[in-house]
């Protein structure tokens, strides 16, 4: 009988690495840059629109802008378009808040076949759940640290 | 302004693409790391400079979500213990609510499409 | 000795194949018996669709063999979904015996090995062997939701939406002469997108064992078809078997590599339990019946991972079973 460690074949792994096709580096970076930049510009456009048309400002403005972007990301996911954008742009469409919406909506739609409670509602956060968990956890740590610093000094 | 938005937003996404290319990280991991990066930078007040400089270019990427959480928590800390704890999620409340509401609504309306490539 | 010789030469008396839209428009589309331009096949879920294509293939192959279901002693089937539900739920539609088998994408040749053994020994008269896979059901079990916008790395393969089934027994048709049972081999590949590299060592081992134990060489066969190594995995297999002193570059082909028209260079080809069964039951079976191919080796290859095992950091074990067919 062999042990678990025995079969790892470094020579083979190096060989596989040398023959495996590589991602087209410059092309993927340029695509990510342009699509990412474009999504942010759309965000900025919505920002100006709300600022001048609705007279919003500060945190309220930022919150509405992100809600609209989340709506757009969710809608494009529902239409089956966002995964096309994702295949083209990679990081360019994952990192903007629309990508967060995509990661919430795509499993929600996918698991519809398992029902609306254990399917849609339960699976909604299989990918985006960690973002909420780390975000909320992190913010509580930051909040408590600051509270401590303010009250001690 | 749009040029700055484009440049900064694009640069953040390019950084993510670099990580994808070199570390084979998945989408979920990238989002978490960028969120934490934004959160930590804002803890030291640094992400605010980027937001002041590039507006949506810094707030639209997920790191801007982290910035929002940290900012909310720090502002809450000035008011008291209760706001220090809830400040983050209050600030991010709109984003999370929008994701849940639209996510559920669109799941009712749409279904996964067949993929050919 | 891992090679089983079938003295009574069980025949593959009929086959049936079903393919989805992408497969129907691919290279072997014209050879498929049932083509569909709807990958849900009229069902509500992709899992139900996969079940439907498998029982369609099984039912059609029994019809093509001009047998009734009561004459079929056993159905040996498998697929990629948890608890092989496509195979099991397909078997529900037939009043035959049922053996559910799983060796990932190597299930098809595993099923034929078992079926041929049962027939060769005189225990059973007719056995149906079938496997299926579906892109959308496999994606969601092994990878991500369909609508998630993530990139596909260039070494990734595409799970075949399709099924194939064949009826084994005594009668006319290509004969199964021998089978070589594969070993589980793991060289430590962890990249779940690079199945070809994970399976190639097992494929090379099985092929080498077959040549050695039967005293044959690559020149003795018209075609040596691997299951779903893809373009990259095929190159690795050729390299590995060359190092052992055999040159298969002249007559080697790969079901996964040939199933799609490769206008996009990025992808490595098809994969999945339905890949080798669909391609064998359509294209190769026809060529064998027409005697365009006289002797062939079919070696389905499987990557024995689960989404849990890879999340726990386990590497991907590979397996390959080989059958030797002659018309």
- What is the per-residue DSSP string for C25-52? TSTTGGG-SEE-S-TTTT-SSHHHHHHH
The verdict on a CB contact (< 8 Å) between B96 and A132 is yes
For residue C208, the domain's CATH number is 3.40.47.40
Residues 2-21 of A with CB under 8 A from B: none
- Chains sharing 3 or more CB pairs under 8 A with chain B: A, C
Flag whether the ipTM exceeds 0.85.
Answer: yes
- pLDDT for the residue numbered C264: 53
Percentage of chain A exceeding pLDDT 90: 71
Does A14 reside within a domain?
A: no
Mean of pLDDT values over C123-147? 93
Segment C122-141 shows an average pLDDT of 95
* pLDDT tops 90 at residue B46: yes
Contact between B58 and A130 under an 8 Å Cβ cutoff? The reply is: no
Looking at the domain assignment, is residue C29 inside a domain? yes
Query: Where does the pLDDT of residue B24 fall: very low under 50, low under 70, confident under 90, or very high at 90 and above?
Result: confident
Distance from CA of C267 to the nearest CA of A (A): 10
Q: Which chains touch C (3 or more CB pairs under 8 A)?
A: A, B
CA gap A119, A112 in Å, rounded: 5
Q: What is the pLDDT of residue C262?
A: 64
Residue A126: phi and psi, rounded to 5, are -65, -30
Alpha-carbon span C118 to C126, nearest angstrom: 9
- Residue C179 is assigned to a structural domain of this protein: yes
The verdict on C44 touching A (C-beta cutoff 8 Å) is: yes
Same domain, C18 and C102: yes
Q: What is the pLDDT at residue B117? A: 67
Q: Clarify whether residues C162 and C183 are in a common domain.
A: no
Query: Which domain-ending residue is among C169, C189, C219?
Result: C169
Number of B–C residue contacts, CB under 8 Å: 30
* % of chain B surpassing 70 pLDDT: 99
Chain C residues in contact with A105 by the CB 8 A cut-off are 147
Q: Do residues A39 and B3 touch, judged by C-beta distance below 8 A? A: no
Check pLDDT > 90 for residue B86: yes
Q: Is A44 on the interface with B (CB under 8 A)?
A: yes
Q: Give the separation between CA C45 and CA C60, rounded to whole angstroms.
A: 22
Q: Which residue of C has its CA nearest to A84?
A: C149
Interface of B with C (CB under 8 A): 20, 24, 26-27, 112-117
Angle between helices B93-109 and A58-79 (to 10 degrees): 20
If we measure between CA atoms, which residue out of C53, C279, C62, C33 comes closest to residue C166? Answer: C62
Under-50 pLDDT residues of chain A = none
CB pairs under 8 A between A and C: 96
Q: Does any domain span residue C100?
A: yes
As a whole number of angstroms, the distance between CA C117 and CA C6 comes to: 7
With respect to residue C4, please indicate whether it lies within any of the assigned structural domains. Answer: no
| A75 to chain B: closest CA residue | B106
Domain shared by C198 and C141, yes or no: no
> Of the candidates C110, C138, C169, which is a domain's last residue?
C169
pLDDT of res. C20: 94
For C317, the closest chain A residue by CA position comes to: A7
Provide the number of structural domains found in chain A: 1
- The answer to whether residue A141 sits within a structural domain is no
pLDDT tens digits for C172-213?
999 999 999 999 999 999 988 899 999 999 999 999 999 999
> What's the total number of domains in chain C?
2
Q: Would C195 be classed as within a structural domain?
A: yes
Per residue, the 3-state secondary structure of C204-225, as one string, reads HHHHHHHHHHHCCCHHHCCEEE
What is the pLDDT confidence band of residue C266, given thresholds at 50, 70 and 90?
low
- Summarised one tens digit per residue, pLDDT across range C27-55 is 899 999 999 999 999 999 999 999 999 99
The mean predicted confidence, pLDDT, of chain C is 93
Q: Residue B36 corresponds to which tokens in the numbers above?
A: 């934490």
Chains touching chain A through at least 3 C-beta pairs below 8 angstroms are: B, C
Asked if the model's pLDDT at residue C265 lies above 70, the reply is no
> With 0-12 CB in 10 A as exposed, 13-18 as middle and 19+ as buried, what is C95?
exposed
Determine, for residues B106 and A64 on separate chains, whether the beta-carbon distance falls below 8 Å.
Answer: no
Is the domain of C244 the same as that of C273? yes
- By residue range, what is the domain housing residue C149? 10-169
Is the CB of C303 inside 8 Å of chain A's CB atoms? Answer: no
Closest Cβ opposite residue C264 in set B26, B115, B117? B117
pLDDT per residue over C77-92, tens digit each?
999 999 999 999 999 9
Residues C56, C89, single domain; the answer is: yes
Q: Angle at Cα B93 formed by Cα A50 and Cα B1, nearest 5°?
A: 35
Question: Among A72-76, B26-30, C256-260, C312-316, whose mean pLDDT is lowest?
Answer: B26-30
**B25 in reach of chain A (CB within 8 A):** no
pLDDT at C112: 97
**Structural domain for A53, as ranges:** 24-126
**Domain shared by C197 and C318, yes or no:** yes
Q: What was the pLDDT predicted at B114?
A: 79
Dihedral class, residue C58 (left if φ above 0, else alpha if ψ from -120 to 50, else beta): alpha
pLDDT value at residue A90: 87
Give a yes or no: residue A150 inside a domain: no
What would the mean pLDDT of B2-30 be, rounded to a whole number? 90
d(CA C287, CA C25): 20
Q: Which of residues C144, C169, C194 is at a domain's end?
A: C169
Cβ within 8 Å, pair B112-C264: no
Indicate the average pLDDT of chain B: 91
pLDDT number for residue A24: 75
> Are C301 and C187 members of one domain?
yes
User: Do C43 and C118 share a domain, yes or no?
Assistant: yes
């Amino acid at each position: 009988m062999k042990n678990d460690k025995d079969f790892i074949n470094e020579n083979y792994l190096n060989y596989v690495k040398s023959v495996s096709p590589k991602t087209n580096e410059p092309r993927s970076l340029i695509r990510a840059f342009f699509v990412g930049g474009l999504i942010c510009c759309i965000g900025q456009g919505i920002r100006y629109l709300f600022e001048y048309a609705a007279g919003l400002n500060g945190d309220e403005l930022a919150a509405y802008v992100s809600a609209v972007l989340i709506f757009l990301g969710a809608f494009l996911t529902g239409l089956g378009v966002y995964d096309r954008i994702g295949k083209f742009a990679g990081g360019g469409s994952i990192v903007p808040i629309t990508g967060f919406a995509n990661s919430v909506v795509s499993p929600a739609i996918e698991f519809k076949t398992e029902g609306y409670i254990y399917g849609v509602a339960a699976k909604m956060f299989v990918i985006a759940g960690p973002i909420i968990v780390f975000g909320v956890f992190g913010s509580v740590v930051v909040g408590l640290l600051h509270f401590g610093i303010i009250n001690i000094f | 302004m749009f040029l700055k938005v484009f440049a900064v937003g694009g640069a953040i996404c390019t950084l993510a693409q670099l990580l994808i290319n070199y570390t084979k990280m998945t989408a979920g991991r990238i989002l978490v790391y960028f969120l934490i990066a934004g959160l930590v930078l804002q803890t030291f007040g640094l992400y605010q400079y980027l937001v002041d400089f590039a507006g949506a270019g810094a707030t639209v990427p997920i790191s801007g979500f982290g910035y929002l959480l940290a900012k909310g928590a720090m502002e809450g800390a000035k008011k008291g213990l209760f706001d220090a704890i809830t400040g983050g999620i209050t600030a991010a409340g709109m984003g999370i609510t929008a994701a849940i509401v639209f996510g559920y609504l669109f799941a009712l309306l749409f279904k996964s499409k067949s993929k050919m490539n | 000795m891992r090679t089983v010789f079938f003295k009574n030469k069980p025949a593959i008396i009929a086959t049936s194949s079903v393919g989805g839209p992408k497969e129907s428009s691919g290279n072997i589309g014209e050879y498929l018996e049932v083509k569909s331009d709807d990958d849900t096949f009229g069902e509500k879920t992709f899992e139900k669709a996969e079940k439907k294509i498998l029982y369609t293939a099984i039912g059609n192959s029994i019809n093509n063999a001009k047998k009734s279901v009561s004459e079929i002693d056993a159905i040996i089937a498998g697929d990629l979904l948890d608890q092989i539900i496509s195979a099991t739920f397909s078997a529900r539609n037939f009043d035959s015996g049922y053996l559910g088998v799983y060796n990932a994408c190597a299930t098809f040749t595993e099923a034929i090995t078992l079926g041929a053994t049962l027939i060769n020994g005189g225990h059973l008269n007719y056995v149906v062997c079938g496997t299926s896979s579906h892109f959308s059901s496999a994606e969601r079990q092994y990878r991500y939701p369909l609508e998630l916008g993530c990139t596909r790395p260039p070494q990734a393969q595409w799970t075949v939406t399709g099924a194939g089934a064949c009826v084994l027994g005594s009668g006319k048709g290509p004969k199964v002469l021998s089978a070589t049972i594969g070993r589980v081999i793991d060289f430590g590949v962890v990249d779940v997108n690079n199945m070809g590299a994970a399976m190639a060592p097992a494929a090379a081992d099985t092929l080498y064992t077959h040549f050695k134990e039967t005293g044959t060489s690559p020149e003795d066969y018209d075609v040596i078809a691997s299951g779903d190594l893809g373009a990259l995995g095929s190159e690795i297999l050729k390299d590995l078997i060359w190092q052992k002193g055999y040159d298969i570059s002249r007559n080697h082909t790969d079901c996964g590599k040939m199933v799609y028209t490769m206008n996009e260079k990025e992808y490595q080809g098809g994969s999945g339990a339905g890949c080798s069964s669909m391609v064998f039951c359509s294209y190769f079976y026809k060529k064998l019946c027409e005697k365009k191919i006289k002797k062939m080796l079919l070696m389905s290859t499987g990557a024995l991972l689960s989404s849990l095992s890879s999340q726990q950091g386990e590497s991907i074990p590979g397996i390959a079973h080989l059958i030797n067919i002659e018309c």
